[in-house]
Structure 1
Amino acid sequence: MGGVPPPPPAASPSPSPPSNKRRTVRLFWKEAQSVNRSLPSQKSVWSDIDEVKIETDRFISLFELKSKEAPMKKQQSEKRNELRVLDMKRSNAINIGLTIFPPPRTIKSAIINMDERALTKEQIEKLLTMIPTEEEVSSIQDASQESPDVALGSAEQFLLTLSSISELEARLNLWAFKLDYDLLEKEVAESLQDLRDAIDEIQKNKTLKLILATLRSIGNLLNNTKVKGFDITYLSKVPEVKDTQQKQTLLHHVTQCVLDKFPDSSDLYSELGSLTRCSRSDFDVLESTLGNLEKRCKNSWDYLKQIAKHESKAAFRERLSEFLISRAQRIITLNVLHRRLINRFNGMLLYFGTSPKTIETITVQGFARLISEFALEYKTSRDRVLSQKRKKNVKDKRNRTRGKMITETRKFSATEDQMKQKQMESVLRPTDIQVEKRTRSRSNRARMSTDSVSSPAAPPVMSPSDDMTDQIMEQLVKTATQAPNNRSAPVSRRKRSRNAQRKSLRRTLKGGLTDEEKAVIMGKY
């Protein structure tokens, strides 16, 4: 009672893992630690699971690491048969580049003749990085003379082939300029064309002027001023300003006002396609591209002079010189167009009231992006306002017909022809006159005949029905002589049966046959 508890039983020794002398795949895990060593009663999942017996030989054979010494020795013995002079990094770079080239025997003739079918632009740029230096060529030649019986490595043999081409670097640079020029000229020309069209779009756009005029009026009212214009860069802040009552943006109110005052205005964004393309072009890069083209064209003249010393084909030299002359003229034209368009762009900024100091900080791409993003915001706001107006019109139309019967609406109102038809029916069916039934018996006929013979003819007496007859006749004449109207809908008529003369069998059996019908039937049989 109250004594010290007995010590816990000693833990049974864990079974030692089976010895394995063969190398196997290792599992790089961390050993699980006890959560709280001070509490012996603390349990874990590892104490609840039992040891599982596995086939040791099978798993060791499956995950055994095999030695790779024999293949390495074989590769080393094969590599000894090649003569290697270059360092490992340079040799590997050349061997990787050789995978994208045609056979080395065709590369030399393709470079000399500038054959575009044999080498592409990317392959020429790769060759420019693989041009051998004088030290590499001399070391390869010396090693080849010392060991003439040993074949050169693929990288050394390729560099030796390139070194045999006269003016290799000049030929590759001139060829690369020839291939690059058309693509670069197209990019520059398209950007300049977009800039010219964008300037015309902005200056001639009527919707943009209406928006600026509306925004100026609202701004003068809110600021209690009367300015003639504002900085065009303020358009980027218009979607951020909100009113204090409805929490709608200033752009929303400007759009609503423009639509109310000028319903024929456009969405602005669809009319600024060239400006949107200008917002994606970097004109600083375009200017550097023009400068790079001019520099490369001048260097190509020097390359042509170097090649002409070793080139015996006069036609080849003339073709290259004509190419460089035409490209030089086109580069000069592009520079003139670029300078004039930039001046025109600065004039457009002055047209919108931008100060000359601010013009120096505004780029073509930045201004085009500003107007393009505002146009997109205006288009989105315009679509939203038009959608709200359509919903409001539908709601008002429903409210006008709410609580009315369907026959009271305009669609189901009585037409003029229907009114005349109702008037005719009221005339033909008077309620104050009752039609007497006439008997057609023989006694009445005889009585009428004797009365007509014995009594003298009496004068005619006008009855109230005569006035009604005259009214009916007048209405019939008016209806008959009236010009026919085009009916909005055709009169629906009941479709007649094909067998209109056919009699019902049920009625025949119920009523029986006459003597004549019986005689006809019996005569047939």
Structure 2
Amino acid sequence: PPPPLPSIGISPPPPPPPPLPVMAPPPPPLPEMVPPPPPPITGLRTSELNLIPEKASQSSTTLSSSMEFLGLGKTITDGHRTVPTRRTNNNIKYYSLPKTKMKTLNWTKVNNQYLDKSVWSSADPPNLTINFRKIDELFCQKPRAKSSPAVLSPNGVSKTNVVNILDNNRSLAINIMLKQFKSGSHEILEALQNGASIPLEKLKGLQRVLPTDEEIKLIKKKDVDLSLVGSAEQFCLQLNSISNYQLRIKLMIEKEELPAIISEIQSQLESVKEMCDDLIKNQPFKQFLSLVLFIGNYLNAGSYAGNSSGFTLDTLPKLLDTRANKPRVTFLHFVVEVAQTNKMDDILSFTKYTEALRNLSRISFLSLEDEINIKTKQIRSLHLQLSKQMKKQICDQFSDFIKQAVIDIETLNNEYKSATEVIRRVAVYFGEDVNKFKIEECFALLGNFFERIDVVAKENINRRIQEEKNKTLAAELEKEKDVPNMKRRARGSMIPKDEEVCIVDLVLRDIKRGSFNLRSVKAEGEKHI
């Protein structure tokens, strides 16, 4: 080493240590550590085991067979190679590896810490002849059918390599929708680009599963080959590649749906207007209301309700509440009877509108108004969006439709205003509050009332027929009193002329008074006893 520098006075570093001596090889294993070979197993016949020795000498055949059975040898038995167990458990003394995959024997292994004093610590292989080939035949697993090549999706992506990015529920919903189309996503994309017609239900199903902007960003942001994503993700990307696809779908839905909606609403409005005109112009109903008012004022003369100039429509059902002194007769029965007895049957002809009124009562005029307003806003919004588009393709596809739709919506609004004016006239005609008047409630009330008038008219006819029968029977009973040798049917009783007479009532009265006699019919020539 060089001498220390005089100016600094620092001594040089010490010399490196001497190298380590070469390590000696490990000592050979002690003789007593090598396990002795197992004794030969008596009674073992190698012919039944079909043993084929490969590397064993002729002098150690018995020893090799025993080692094979115990899992310590290297020879092959019917394709089986007996190998030591991989577990470091010396208590497991045998292990056989079949040539084919076998069925699993479901058991629970004993914990190694419990083996020393268990039966398994001294369990030796039985001195038996075992046919391993038969075990293979009985308990081998059947080979599975060769899997067919990976099926390609409609977009050419192998299903085995599909990468799903969307939520499972969203992906499932999109795939279910795609199954409704024979050609899958290709049919949808082509229809959107060319403006071809798609059934309305399928269009609504497509609109329900349209991808959101967040989902599109998530698919594009994912660091994966886009050709390997699932069919739902690929459809979302292909759909997003079409300009204004959401506007196209809305226009296609309106194109399929709007004509039917407008036609249905127009038909309902026309039916409402016709019925309103019929009620206003119906003279028989007007005469019937006048008859009710005339008789009602007679009943109410001198009371707070008398001298009325008219009544509201909700009074009509109450005509059944005022009962007469005669059984099963009400004020409405009497009014209808007056019309019938005065040969005024035509006055009840207005009841022919019963069924039509009931059907129209199911139409909610407010619901029609809401539906018209919603469609008007939708069409105007689509017309505004389409007018801002610079794409010639989408304008050419839907410009004619949207122009006609605007005209149809304006016509529908005018018809609604006309129907509203007719309904206001009906409210004024019947003396109702215009602001509170609801035409569907009016139709329901009149429909039920007209039906009740038909029932009352039939009840009056049946009662009149029964009264005629009772009068005839009473006259016959009066004649029986003057016939000699004829026993009176009702001793000491007279039938008032003004009361209803019924043969059943007379018989019951005779039985109650004890004046009822049985008459026996005798043969000719015999006397009555």
Q: Output the TM-score relative to the length of structure 1.
A: 0.55
Q: Which consecutive residues of structure 2, in runs of 5 or more, have no partner in the other structure?
A: 1-105, 108-143, 145-157, 480-529
2: distance between equivalents of 1:372 and 1:175? 41
- How far apart are residue 126 of structure 1 and its match? 1.6
Q: Which residue of 1 aligns with 2:398?
A: 320
Structure 1 residues 397 and 154, CA gap change in structure 2 (3 angstroms): farther
Partner deviation per Cα, 1:45-79 (whole Å, 9 max, x = no partner): xxxxxxxxxxxxxxxxxxxxxxxxx9xxxxxxx97
Partner deviation per Cα, 1:246-267 (whole Å, 9 max, x = no partner): 2533222222222122133335
Partner deviation per Cα, 1:90-130 (whole Å, 9 max, x = no partner): 222223323323411111111222322xx211111121122
CA RMSD of aligned residues (A): 3.2
Partner deviation per Cα, 1:431-460 (whole Å, 9 max, x = no partner): xxxxxxxxxxxxxxxxxxxxxxxxxxxxxx
Q: Is the contact between residue 277 and residue 422 of structure 2 (CA under 8 Å) also seen in structure 1?
A: no
- How far apart are residue 80 of structure 1 and its match? 6.1
Q: Which has the higher contact order (CA 8 A, sep 6+)?
A: 1
Q: Is the contact between residue 82 and residue 152 of structure 1 (CA under 8 Å) also seen in structure 2?
A: yes
Q: Which residue of 2 aligns with 1:364?
A: 439
Q: Which residue of 1 aligns with 2:346?
A: 264
Q: Which residue of 2 aligns with 1:436?
A: none
Q: How does 1:351-500 map to 2 (within 5 A)?
A: 351-354=429-432, 358-392=433-467
Q: Which consecutive residues of structure 1, in runs of 5 or more, have no partner in the other structure?
A: 1-20, 23-69, 71-77, 405-525
- How far apart are residue 390 of structure 1 and its match? 4.3
Number of residues of Structure 1 aligned to a counterpart in Structure 2: 321
Q: Which residue of 1 aligns with 2:265?
A: 188
The letter of the residue matching 1:321 is: S
Q: Which residue of 1 aligns with 2:316?
A: 235
1:100 aligns with 2:175: no
Structure 1 residues 146 and 330, CA gap change in structure 2 (3 angstroms): closer
SS at match of 1:146: coil
- How far apart are residue 89 of structure 1 and its match? 2.3
Q: Is the contact between residue 268 and residue 378 of structure 1 (CA under 8 Å) also seen in structure 2?
A: no
The correspondence for 2:162, drawn from 40, 61, 82, is 82
- How far apart are residue 319 of structure 1 and its match? 6.0
Structure 1 residues 401 and 329, CA gap change in structure 2 (3 angstroms): farther
Partner deviation per Cα, 1:495-517 (whole Å, 9 max, x = no partner): xxxxxxxxxxxxxxxxxxxxxxx
Identity of aligned residues (%): 24
Q: Is the contact between residue 121 and residue 179 of structure 1 (CA under 8 Å) also seen in structure 2?
A: yes
The letter of the residue matching 1:168 is: Y
1:127 aligns with 2:206: yes
Q: Which residue of 2 aligns with 1:299?
A: 381
Q: Is the contact between residue 194 and residue 275 of structure 1 (CA under 8 Å) also seen in structure 2?
A: no
Q: Is the contact between residue 276 and residue 426 of structure 2 (CA under 8 Å) also seen in structure 1?
A: yes
The letter of the residue matching 1:365 is: E
- How far apart are residue 326 of structure 1 and its match? 2.5
Q: Which residue of 2 aligns with 1:338?
A: 416
Q: Is the contact between residue 198 and residue 272 of structure 1 (CA under 8 Å) also seen in structure 2?
A: no
The structure in which a higher percent of residues are helix is 1
Partner deviation per Cα, 1:353-397 (whole Å, 9 max, x = no partner): 23xxx2211111111111111111112222222333345556667
1: distance between equivalents of 2:185 and 2:424? 55
Q: Is the contact between residue 273 and residue 419 of structure 2 (CA under 8 Å) also seen in structure 1?
A: yes
The correspondence for 2:294, drawn from 214, 217, 226, is 217
1:170 aligns with 2:252: no
Q: Which residue of 2 aligns with 1:59?
A: none
Structure 1 residues 245 and 140, CA gap change in structure 2 (3 angstroms): same
2: distance between equivalents of 1:275 and 1:154? 54
- How far apart are residue 189 of structure 1 and its match? 0.7
Q: Is the contact between residue 284 and residue 346 of structure 2 (CA under 8 Å) also seen in structure 1?
A: no
The letter of the residue matching 1:323 is: F
2: distance between equivalents of 1:324 and 1:300? 8
The letter of the residue matching 2:206 is: L
2: distance between equivalents of 1:395 and 1:111? 82
The correspondence for 2:284, drawn from 175, 192, 207, is 207
